Amino acid sequence: MPNILICDDEKDIVNALKIYLSDPDYQIYEAYNGKEAVELMEHTEIHLILMDIMMPQMDGITAMTKIREKSNIPIILLTAKSEDADKILGLNVGADDYITKPFHPLEVTARVRSQLRRYLKLGGGTQSSENYSVGGIELRDKEKEVYVDGAQITLTPKEFEILKLFLANPGKVFSPKEIYSQVWKEKPIGTDNTVAVHIRHIREKIEINPAEPRYLKVVFGQGYKLEKGREI
């Protein structure tokens, strides 16, 4: 189920967009300024954002720039007709599309579906495929099987889900809190050591030399990432 974040400081607009996107296939999240959106992204997996530009505390352009440091999810800007300069700036720094206020319900749903379809089809989200592979690692989600250089290995359910998260997002840095939130589906409080232990166990199973990993890398001060596009 795709998770959609609606971020606008006007509650009436948020409520209207929730009505437009009323669909059992969507899970809707809300934020009322850019700071709230960035903080929510730290512990919740979001697949698309509808982001207003002019907001208090942190505007949409600043929030989008921060989100783009860690995520390539589709971001659709919500703009007024008078914000053409900001609209162009937003597209230049990473927005995927924009919708001009006042909104037409059919336009909103069409643009959201188009961006989600493209993102998930290209493998940006964890729901895009039942099989994932990077380098010599292959994960078959339906069969719950993992192979490294052609040899099957055994992972615990949590190790499997952590590895799948990385394989679905090669190159993306995940903090320990993000990993815990997405895999354990619980609020991440004091969970860094739990994640570190699981990462160590995964390395012992997928790496030739766990002390010098080819795949699961530490990004100091930020978290972990799966090396992408590397010839093994």
- Concatenating the DSSP letter of every residue in 97-118 gives EEEESSPPHHHHHHHHHHHHHH
What 3-state DSSP class applies to 46?
coil
Count, residues in the chain: 232
Kindly report whether the peptide bond that precedes residue 170 is cis, defined as omega within 30 degrees of 0: no
Is 153 part of a structural domain of the chain? Answer: yes
Give the model's pLDDT for residue 118: 77
How many angstroms separate the Cα of 45 from the Cα of each of 79, 87, 146?
25, 26, 23
Assess whether 175 and 94 both reside in one domain. no
Query: For the purposes of burial, counting CB atoms within 10 Å of the CB of 94, is it exposed (0-12), middle (13-18) or buried (19 or more)?
Result: middle
Contact assessment for residue 33 and residue 40, using Cβ atoms and an 8 Å cutoff: no
pLDDT for the residue 192? 82
Q: Which pLDDT score is estimated for 230?
A: 46
Q: What is the pLDDT of residue 161?
A: 92
The whole domain housing 20 covers: 3-121
- The per-residue pLDDT for 121 is 66
Confirm whether 232 is domain-assigned: no
Number of domains in the chain: 2
The CATH number of the domain holding residue 76 is 3.40.50.2300
pLDDT tens-digit map of 137-149: 999 888 889 999 8
Please report the sign of the dihedral spanned by the C-alpha atoms of residue 173, residue 179, residue 185, residue 186.
Answer: negative
- Supply the pLDDT for residue 124: 56
Residue 193 resides in a domain: yes
Q: What is the three-class DSSP state of 72?
A: coil
Residues of the chain with pLDDT under 70: 81, 83, 121-129, 229-232
- Which of 121, 149, 174 is the endpoint of a domain? 121
Which residue in the block uniquely carries the two structure tokens 């490294």?
148
Residue 17 lies in a domain: yes
Same domain, 75 and 34: yes
